[in-house]
Chains A and B, each alone.
Chain A
Amino acid sequence: MPAGLAISDFYYILPELVITGGALLLLVADVLLPVARAAAAAGAGADGLTERHRRRTQILSWITLGVIGATVLSLAPFADTHVEVAGGLIAVDRFALFFKVVFLAAAALTVLMSTRYLEIEGASPGEYYFLVLCATLGMMVMAGGIDLVTIFIGLETMAVSFYILAGFIKPSQRSNEAAVTYFLLGAFSLGILLYGMSLMYGLSGTTSLRTMAVAFAGQPRDPRLVLAVILVVAGIGFKIGAVPFHMWAPDVYEGAPTPITAYLSVGSKAASFAMLLRIFLEGLPATSADWRLLFEVLSIVTMTVGNVAALTQTNLKRMLAYSSIAHAGYVLMGVVAGTPRGVSAMLIYLLIYAFMQLGAFAVIVMMRRRDVVGDELKDYSGLSARNPLAAFAMLLFMLSLGGIPPTAGFMGKFWLFGAAIDAGYVWLAVIGVLNSAISLYYYVRVVVFMYLKTEAIGSEPAFSAPLGVVVGVTLAATIVLGVYPRLLFEAAEASARTLGVAGTAIALK
């Protein structure tokens, strides 16, 4: 159907163009910067080399932040736009805008926490930041895509960037293993997803989601379409880390560089949820009975397995991996509800989750020293005495992830449960709240180590200005959105309303 691009289309995809241009600019700068590349490769070598490597990392991270800033600015003209561009390949609406803001904020925070981490690891910053920007570009395309092809291109752009980033610490065996695991399982799941998408295309004769919705409307139940739904659910389930497609998550989270783990668990997850909402609520409202049931089961299994598995973890990154699986389960409740309230609750939750998760990872990055990885629970023993600020921040992030007011996590969870009850899924909500009570056991365990154990085993956290900014911003967001979430609720509601053609596709019940 797309019959070529008009000039105006380039105006509407301005943010994507800006970030692409910025990423290329970064590559050029990486080459042109007058510092010996050997410095990066040699890692912790002579002092002069590390110093130059440090400067180089800083300059490149400033450029990356500039690119992200410019992209945010280029979003401004589209604050109230609601159009389909490029012949129905991409939608520019509030829904996409909301997600783009989440991605860019997460990317900026990731870049800020990476600076020090890259210095310690001695990894090459240019390619790293380039890949972060590429992943962000992929996510933005996924959120805006209303055509299977666009969505898939966005997904691939994001996924390939993450495959490389997961294995970015070349000397580390854990990092290499993470990359291989992620790549193999990721490729496999993409295959499944693609198979489901091709079935959808074959049955409807179109790749455009909105046309597809019309084609499927009122049709009798087609087993081939059910199969397509199952395949697509499985493919997306992998991306959001839903059980039983979650096997990769703990290994990848533990092995990948910590800032990448953070970005993966926030950005990739949010983008996959955006894709999920686009595909199911815009493209397949006709089969909602089927996929709602699937997601209901998936949601229950995901949060339960995620939480129970997290209970016994002693590695913080691994624990957060299982916790992020559980959080995917909570967010799926919004999909099951399928109402505008469910969608807005998901948006609220994903944004809040981004802040609290990134904040928690920022504290973990802070604990990283040249000789200590700092992600074992015992590294946090007595942290409140050694660094009260870091401990306090971690305390609030843990409480927020557990959903204790007055932190933001409570507001997000509360509204997700509300959406489920409103849509009549009371039992799902009951299971959800019981799960969130279980989850507190392991979140509180971190607190126990930080506050209640007095023997100081772990290292002194290393405080740096960019990390301070990350912790400060995420902490402020966690508190402010918990106490006064008014603006977020309003924005999410407005954004959820624009999903689908004038809200028709979303009116399921």
Chain B
Amino acid sequence: MTHYLSLILFTPLVGACLLLVTPREKEDAIRWIANIFAGAGFAISIPLWYWFNPQNADFQLVERAPWIPSIGAEYFLGVDGLSTLLILLTTLIGFIAVLSSWTAITERVKEYYTFLLVLQTGMLGAFMSLDFLLFFLFWEVMLVPMYFLIGIWGSANRLYSAIKFFLYTLVGSVIMLLGILALYFYAHSVTGVYSFDVTAFQQLNLPVNLQWWIFLAFFLGFAVKVPMFPFHTWLPDAHTDAPTAGSVILAAVMLKMGTYGFLRFSLPILPDGTRAFVPLMAVLSIVGIVYGALVALAQKDWKRLVAYSSVSHMAMIMLGMFALNPVGITGSIVQQLNHGISTGALFLLVGVVYERRHTREIAEYGGLSKIMPVYAAIFLIMTMSSIGLPALNGFIGELLILQGVFVASRMWALFAGSGVVLGAAYMLYLYQRTMFGKVENPKNLHLLDISHREFATFAPLLVLAVWIGLYPAPFLRRLDGSVQRIVARVSPQYSPTYAALGCGGAPTPQMIAANGAARFLQSVPCGPDGRPLVAAESAAR
């Protein structure tokens, strides 16, 4: 199966090409083709869950072919645990987004689905690429379809929001491109080989001041995408004005590009730069957590509220990552998945009522739980998941992040904790205003509860929310290799203690004491160096 990743990658694109040659009047045929290809894309990607070997910390399912040999660029794909999970999230969310649009989109159907499918390929490519130029190519490919999705099918202020999204992201990423080039030429001066191979970059030891500059360049690219305070201002506009599927993809997958970028590139390639920037990143994250939550509390627009909650949650993910210890990083990855699941679902939920009422004003609603009981139940579960209620996915992520942050700094943990509390406040306040109370608006009296098709879009997210909440071990197991590779670069103090502990056996109490994630492992996987892949943190201190 050497071309397995390419197969996943290009399935949506084939669908898009097929749509291009379909006559635009045949709207139902177009919908079917798009749904079939998005569904097939998801189905094809499922074996990835099984074929990915968590015991092997190397990149797997690698495909390598020359692309532009004269500059050393390659068509180089491969996955580790981190990208495996994000790819699966992408194919699932992509399918859900396509499925959710069946009745919501009635104009320019052909173009809509074409853009969605092209976007899907762009996102998958970014998660799979191990060649930095190829990564950048896919990274930028995402921009244009998203611009159109917001600009054509968005709501009132769409033109402004679309161009704002476009230019913000673009400025960040072109600066990142310069960082990539600087890295490329420096790598050549050391190794004598022109190459964009990320796995080779991860083994370089760059001079500290160069790392500092390249980190700054990457930071601009990734921080805009995350988005970190103060680069977040495009997000509420883009989210609010995008069509439902656009918001879902934006929140569930595209924001993860930023965090993925930090984990895949900034941290392992530029460990010294990363450590130098920890205070800044922590401050920006904390500001983001608190500010995002407070602003969310004040929103009158349902979708805008969810958008600001994203700012807060993504900041939490960044804080966990920049704790720079195994638990924090594991937590930040798990929370990326959780955020994709819960915020994706929340945007879908807004979309459901928006399609019926064409307003997002929270004040327009109230008492919906009586009229749409199934809807209210799903909304409740997803609200709880977003808040971090135990037994649901959000709890696992937040717990791991808080654990990691606590080890790094108790002061940070205090702020992160306040974010959790505020998160509960704005979500429950939203739920109360929309679902409970009397039905005061007569327009709401005859709203239909969700249809089977709509339920189908929520079902997988509900399953995942419960699964991760109750039994996250399969996810954590897949992440261990990636997390340890990052930690070995960025926090080597976690490494020397490996030798003292065996690998392959059950996790020892020290491991569990040091790394909360370890308790979920049946056997501790071995790293590439033959040492166990769970760091013993207390031993290092």
B68 lies within 8 A of A452 (CB): no
Interface assignment of A28: CB less than 8 Å from any CB of chain B: no
A421 lies within 8 A of B181 (CB): yes
B144 lies within 8 A of A404 (CB): yes
Given the known interface contacts A405-B140, A486-B67, the answer about A437 and B167 at a Cβ–Cβ threshold of 8 Å is yes
Quote the shortest CB–CB distance from B481 to chain A (angstroms).
30
Quote the shortest CB–CB distance from A402 to chain B (angstroms).
9
Given the known interface contacts A452-B159, A486-B70, the answer about A444 and B166 at a Cβ–Cβ threshold of 8 Å is yes
A430 lies within 8 A of B148 (CB): no
Q: Which of B66, B69, B167, B178 contacts A430 (CB 8 A)?
A: B178
B70 lies within 8 A of A418 (CB): no
Counting chain A CB atoms within 10 Å of each CB, which of B71, B148, B162 scores highest? B71
Contact residues, A354-397 vs B (CB, 8 A): 384, 388
B147 lies within 8 A of A418 (CB): no
B68 lies within 8 A of A421 (CB): no
Q: How far is the CA of A433 from the CA of B176 in the complex (A)?
A: 10
Quote the shortest CB–CB distance from A170 to chain B (angstroms).
42
Q: How far is the CA of A422 from the CA of B181 in the complex (A)?
A: 8
Q: How far is the CA of A388 from the CA of B22 in the complex (A)?
A: 13
Q: How far is the CA of A490 from the CA of B72 in the complex (A)?
A: 12
A485 lies within 8 A of B68 (CB): yes
Report the interface size for chain A: residues with CB under 8 A from the other chain: 32
Interface assignment of B151: CB less than 8 Å from any CB of chain A: yes
Interface assignment of B175: CB less than 8 Å from any CB of chain A: yes
Interface assignment of A27: CB less than 8 Å from any CB of chain B: no
Interface assignment of A489: CB less than 8 Å from any CB of chain B: yes
Quote the shortest CB–CB distance from A270 to chain B (angstroms).
21
Report the interface size for chain B: residues with CB under 8 A from the other chain: 35
B175 lies within 8 A of A433 (CB): yes
Interface assignment of B407: CB less than 8 Å from any CB of chain A: no
A452 lies within 8 A of B71 (CB): no
Interface assignment of A426: CB less than 8 Å from any CB of chain B: yes
Minimum CB distance partner of A485 in chain B:
B68
Counting chain A CB atoms within 10 Å of each CB, which of B147, B159, B170, B185 scores highest? B170
A493 lies within 8 A of B70 (CB): yes
- Taking CB atoms, residues of chain A closer than 8 Å to B136 are 405
Q: How far is the CA of A406 from the CA of B134 in the complex (A)?
A: 10
B70 lies within 8 A of A489 (CB): yes
Minimum CB distance partner of A402 in chain B:
B170
A418 lies within 8 A of B171 (CB): no
- Taking CB atoms, residues of chain B closer than 8 Å to A384 are 111
Interface assignment of A11: CB less than 8 Å from any CB of chain B: no
Quote the shortest CB–CB distance from B506 to chain A (angstroms).
48
Question: Please, what's the 1-or-0 string for A393-428, where 1 marks a CB less than 8 Å from any CB in chain B?
Answer: 000000100001110001000110110011000100
Given the known interface contacts A404-B143, A405-B137, A417-B177, the answer about A434 and B163 at a Cβ–Cβ threshold of 8 Å is no
B152 lies within 8 A of A452 (CB): yes
Interface assignment of B322: CB less than 8 Å from any CB of chain A: no
Q: How far is the CA of A122 from the CA of B106 in the complex (A)?
A: 45
Interface assignment of B43: CB less than 8 Å from any CB of chain A: no
B151 lies within 8 A of A448 (CB): yes
Interface assignment of B466: CB less than 8 Å from any CB of chain A: no
Interface assignment of B204: CB less than 8 Å from any CB of chain A: no
B178 lies within 8 A of A433 (CB): yes
B67 lies within 8 A of A415 (CB): no
A-B contact count (CB 8 A): 82
Q: Which of B24, B147, B175 contacts A444 (CB 8 A)?
A: B147
Q: How far is the CA of A437 from the CA of B178 in the complex (A)?
A: 13
Interface assignment of A62: CB less than 8 Å from any CB of chain B: no
A414 lies within 8 A of B166 (CB): no
- Taking CB atoms, residues of chain B closer than 8 Å to A418 are 71, 181, 184-185
Given the known interface contacts A444-B166, A489-B71, the answer about A406 and B141 at a Cβ–Cβ threshold of 8 Å is yes
Q: How far is the CA of A438 from the CA of B144 in the complex (A)?
A: 16
B181 lies within 8 A of A430 (CB): no
Given the known interface contacts A451-B148, A452-B159, the answer about A440 and B170 at a Cβ–Cβ threshold of 8 Å is yes
- Taking CB atoms, residues of chain B closer than 8 Å to A448 are 151, 159, 163
- Taking CB atoms, residues of chain B closer than 8 Å to A437 are 167, 170-171, 174
Interface assignment of A484: CB less than 8 Å from any CB of chain B: yes
Interface assignment of B33: CB less than 8 Å from any CB of chain A: no
Quote the shortest CB–CB distance from B76 to chain A (angstroms).
15
B185 lies within 8 A of A421 (CB): yes
Interface assignment of B362: CB less than 8 Å from any CB of chain A: no
Q: How far is the CA of A493 from the CA of B71 in the complex (A)?
A: 10
Q: How far is the CA of A422 from the CA of B189 in the complex (A)?
A: 10
B67 lies within 8 A of A433 (CB): no
Interface assignment of B182: CB less than 8 Å from any CB of chain A: yes
Quote the shortest CB–CB distance from A349 to chain B (angstroms).
14
Quote the shortest CB–CB distance from A194 to chain B (angstroms).
39
Question: Please, what's the 1-or-0 string for B139-181, where 1 marks a CB less than 8 Å from any CB in chain A?
Answer: 0110110011001100000110011001100110011011001
Q: Which 8 A-B residue pairs are closest in the complex by CB-CB distance?
A: A433-B174, A405-B137, A489-B70, A437-B171, A405-B140, A421-B181, A418-B181, A452-B151
Supply 6 further A-B pairs (C-beta < 8 A) apart from A404-B144, A426-B182, A441-B163. A410-B140, A417-B181, A421-B182, A440-B167, A448-B163, A489-B70
Please, could you name 26 A-B residue pairs with CB atoms under 8 Å apart, sorted by A? A384-B111, A388-B24, A406-B137, A414-B133, A414-B181, A417-B181, A421-B181, A430-B178, A433-B174, A434-B171, A434-B175, A436-B174, A437-B167, A440-B166, A440-B167, A441-B163, A441-B167, A444-B163, A451-B148, A451-B152, A452-B151, A452-B152, A484-B67, A486-B66, A489-B68, A489-B70
Question: Which residues in B have some Cβ–Cβ distance to A below 8 Å?
Answer: 24, 66-71, 111, 133, 136-137, 140-141, 143-144, 147-148, 151-152, 158-159, 162-163, 166-167, 170-171, 174-175, 177-178, 181-182, 184-185
Question: Which residues in A have some Cβ–Cβ distance to B below 8 Å?
Answer: 384, 388, 399, 404-406, 410, 414-415, 417-418, 421-422, 426, 429-430, 433-434, 436-437, 440-441, 444, 448, 451-452, 484-486, 489-490, 493
